[in-house]
Amino acid sequence: AQTVTQSQPEMSVQEAETVTLSCTYDTSESDYYLFWYKQPPSRQMILVIRQEAYKQQNATENRFSVNFQKAAKSFSLKISDSQLGDAAMYFCAYNNNNDMRFGAGTRLTVKP
């Protein structure tokens, strides 16, 4: 069974600084998708970034970028120039054949 592990239950960053959230996953598949979702206190699940496993190039979306290491089964999220609005729970997710698995989440606090 595929599992997703987020080893950092909580992280903190100073406003305008950079923070990296870790995620590892376990799979025997070669073709899949990886995602980071953000869940603010409103509880809405918001897509942050998406990575296709067959693409070696790391995905980027404005201040958000990933470090995808397929052989190591690692998928970390880097947030640059952190803003107060980035404070939320962040979930890493793995999707193969519509079997979507989520990590336990990392709570990010942004200090002004």
Q: List residues near another protein by CB under 8 A.
A: 32-33, 35, 37, 42-47, 50, 91, 95-100, 102-105
Beta carbon nearer to another protein, 43 or 57: 43
Residues in the chain: 112
Q: How far is the CB of 52 from another protein (least distance, A)?
A: 8
Q: How far apart are CA 35 and CA 62, in angstroms?
A: 15
Q: Minimal CA–CA distance to 44: which of 91, 1, 78, 8? A: 91
Beta carbon nearer to another protein, 6 or 82: 6
Beta carbon nearer to another protein, 15 or 52: 52
User: How far are the Cα atoms of 9, 15, 18, 112 from residue 92, in angstroms, in the given order?
Assistant: 12, 22, 18, 25
**Residue 75 bridge partners (DSSP):** 68
Q: How far is the CB of 87 from another protein (least distance, A)?
A: 19
Q: How far is the CB of 49 from another protein (least distance, A)?
A: 10
